[in-house]
Structure formats: structure tokens, C-alpha cells
């Protein structure tokens, strides 16, 4: 690290949104090396920005002094909690800062901050998102009900201007989608993330210290500074290309793949219809359920529940290889649950609906007819 922050004039043509926001953030630091009531939020943002080699950072001594100030603030809060109760949002802020700094919030001088936090049920959206992010960051379990509430907040971002709430919600969902079981949620975050990035002001900030620290984390994690320059206005329709493969048999006796180009966020059900129009081998039949279409017949092969033969849909990072078939954990996480009981074991597989599965560039889909 350097002894001081690089100035904004050093290389203005390559200055990124992150650099400008970080410069602004450090100018708000107090004489005690903290940020008044926003010390945990500011330190979290700065620490995450450290993963960007181009981002200017405080030197090591400055960071150590700020971290010590953070610890002092937490100790004071814990010491006075009988006099002034610690609110869930404040507890979540400090827990997140400790996690970002590689300190365990479950073991802060004998106190389990996460355990205390999980005993509170947040009512307001911002508090809820903050608490969920703190729990996820410490690898605590996040329930499906909590995930649904986060998605509702993110999807209504266009209806209000509460930037900090949306930013915190996106960060919580970003943490959750790191679990492969929730990877399909990724597409839900793109539009609100870009909307936040466009709110940056000429001085580099996002309105105030609070919003700037949060929004910095969103645009850094999403790589939006690069994405915005490449893709321009998100309202413009962009095409993406995916592959769609059919396998028949547990030993894959039939293997057929087709590439489909369609507008981004097209449903996989529409992709299936396009494939059927291009190649009769991809002809399918589906029944309608409350959660959408359920595919039961493909390429002339119909599911046989009595024989435990089913079509399973996988969403994969690369074209499937019969010599290295995907595990059931990669079954696309949408649809209804099917429980199959055999003499040997009890299997629980998520059988996929195809309407809510939206395609992204580079996705590879596999429908595999196999015996469970």
C-alpha cells in the first residue's frame, strides 16, 4: 500500500466509479479514525474494495487504527446494552464489518453477535436485509421464506427511491446465490443493481455516506463499472446464446444438443418451443401446474412413475459430458418436489417447471431421462 490515497487527478481517464466513491468515503473520516455512526459500513465497503487492485486505499496503519476504533465501538455497545439496548440493524452492521475484516462475529471477546441477532425478527425491509446478510455472511442458515421476501424487495426497486434498502437487499441475495442451490436467483438482481449504479453523482458519492458505502459494495461485486460501458442501457434488448441438450437413459444411449439464441431473460419454456420448431427431436409435451408447465414427454419418451423414470432438468456451467454426468445437486432449483421411495433408499428430487427459469449468456441446459 501507499502512504496516502491517490488523487482523482492522477489518471482521470481511467478512474472508475469505485475509485471515486472510495476517495469520497475516506474524506469523510473523523479524527478518531472512525466515521461517527457509520464506522462499520465504511470499513466494510473499504475492505471489499481492497480486492480491486486499481482502487486507492488507506495505508496499513490507517486501516489498523480504523479497525481498533470499530472494536472500541462494539465493546462500548456491549458494555452499555442494559442502559441502551443494541438494535438489530446496529448489531448486523458490526457483524458484517467483522466478517469483512476476517474476524468471527460469533466469537467477539466471548460474545456471539450472530446468535443474538437471530433472536430478533426484523419488521422493516432495510433491517431485515441487513440481518439476513449478516447471517448469510457468517454461514448461518437462511430460510426460503426469507429469500422470497428479499426477492420481493429487489423486484419492487423501481417503485421507490430507497437506495440503501435496495442495495442492502442485493448484497444479501448476492451472498445467498453463492450457494449452488440458489444460483438461479442471479438474473433477478441485474436490473436493480444497474439502477443503483446510475445514481452516482458527479463528486463520486451516492447522496450521503450511508448510501455511498452500501452502493459501492453492490457495483464492486457486480462488476457494473465494466458492464455498464460494455452493454450500455439495460433497457436495450440483448440476445444471449445457450445450449439445450437431451439425454436418454441412465447410461446416455441418446445424446442431442442444439444452440439457441434469444433475448436475455427469455423463459426456458420459450427456448424449448424454439428448439422444437428447429428440430423435431426436441418435440415435447407438458401439463400445466400452478407453478407453470411441467414437462412429462420429450423426444417421444414419457415419464413412467411406476418404473421411476423421470425427466430431470439441469442448469450447468458447461456443455454436459456423458462421461462425467452431473450430480442430482445440479438439478435446476425450480418446480415441485417429487419424493421417490425405493427398496434401497428414499430419494427427494426437485422436478423442474420451466416458466420461471430465465436464460443468461453461457447457460447450458440438460434434460435427462433417467431412472431414479
CA atoms 122, 123, 127, 130: torsion sign:
positive
Q: Give the helix/strand (H/E) hosting 183.
A: none
The full DSSP string for 224-286 is HHHHHHHH--TTS--EEEEEEEEEETTTTSEEEEEEEEEETT-BHHHHHHHHHHH-GGG-EEE
Are 351 and 310 within 8 A, CB to CB?
yes
Q: How many CA atoms lie within 13 A of 92 on its CB side?
A: 22
Rg (CA), the chain: 24
Grid cell at residue 284: 415435447
Grid cell at residue 92: 448486523
Q: Binding site annotation covers 164? A: no
Backbone angles phi, psi at 67, to 5 degrees: -65, -40
Residues at the annotated binding site for cyanocob(III)alamin? 208
- The annotated binding site is made up of 208
Amino acid at each position: 500500500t501507499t502512504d496516502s490515497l491517490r488523487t482523482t487527478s492522477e489518471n482521470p481517464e481511467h478512474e472508475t466509479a469505485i475509485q471515486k466513491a472510495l476517495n469520497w468515503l475516506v474524506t469523510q473520516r473523523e479524527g478518531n479514525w472512525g466515521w461517527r455512526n457509520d464506522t462499520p459500513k465504511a470499513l466494510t465497503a473499504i475492505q471489499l474494495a481492497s480486492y480491486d487492485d486499481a482502487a486507492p486505499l488507506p495505508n496499513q496503519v490507517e486501516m489498523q487504527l480504523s479497525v481498533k476504533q470499530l472494536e472500541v465501538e462494539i465493546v462500548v455497545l456491549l458494555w452499555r446494552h442494559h442502559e441502551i439496548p443494541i438494535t438489530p440493524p446496529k448489531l448486523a452492521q458490526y457483524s458484517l464489518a467483522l466478517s469483512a475484516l476476517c474476524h468471527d462475529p460469533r466469537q467477539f471477546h466471548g460474545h456471539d453477535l450472530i446468535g443474538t441477532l437471530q433472536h430478533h425478527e426484523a419488521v422493516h425491509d432495510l433491517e431485515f436485509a441487513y440481518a439476513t446478510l449478516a447471517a448469510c455472511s457468517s454461514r448461518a442458515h437462511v430460510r426460503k421464506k426469507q429469500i422470497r421476501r428479499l426477492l420481493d424487495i429487489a423486484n419492487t426497486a423501481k417503485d421507490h427511491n430507497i437506495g440503501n434498502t435496495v442495495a442492502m437487499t442485493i448484497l444479501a441475495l448476492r451472498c445467498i446465490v453463492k450457494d449452488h442451490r440458489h444460483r438461479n436467483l442471479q438474473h433477478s438482481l441485474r436490473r436493480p443493481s444497474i439502477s443503483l449504479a446510475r445514481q452516482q453523482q458527479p463528486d463520486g458519492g451516492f447522496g450521503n455516506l450511508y448510501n455511498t458505502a452500501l452502493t459501492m459494495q453492490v457495483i464492486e461485486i457486480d462488476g457494473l463499472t465494466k458492464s455498464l460501458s460494455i452493454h450500455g442501457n439495460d433497457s436495450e434488448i440483448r440476445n444471449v446464446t445457450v445450449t439445450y441438450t437431451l439425454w436418454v437413459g441412465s447410461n446416455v444411449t441418446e445424446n442431442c444438443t442444439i444452440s439457441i439464441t434469444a433475448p436475455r431473460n427469455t423463459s426456458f419454456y420459450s427456448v424449448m418451443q424454439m428448439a422444437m420448431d428447429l428440430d423435431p427431436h426436441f418435440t415435447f409435451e407438458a401439463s400445466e401446474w400452478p407453478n407453470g408447465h411441467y414437462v412429462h414427454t420429450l423426444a417421444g419418451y414419457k415419464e413412467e412413475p411406476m418404473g421411476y423414470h423421470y425427466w430431470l432438468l439441469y442448469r450447468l456451467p458447461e456443455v454436459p459430458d456423458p462421461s462425467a454426468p452431473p450430480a442430482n445437486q445440479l438439478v435446476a432449483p425450480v418446480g415441485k418436489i417429487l419424493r421417490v421411495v425405493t427398496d434401497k433408499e428414499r430419494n427427494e428430487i426437485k422436478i423442474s417447471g420451466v416458466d420461471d427459469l430465465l436464460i443468461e449468456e453461457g447457460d447450458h441446459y440438460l434434460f435427462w431421462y433417467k431412472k431414479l
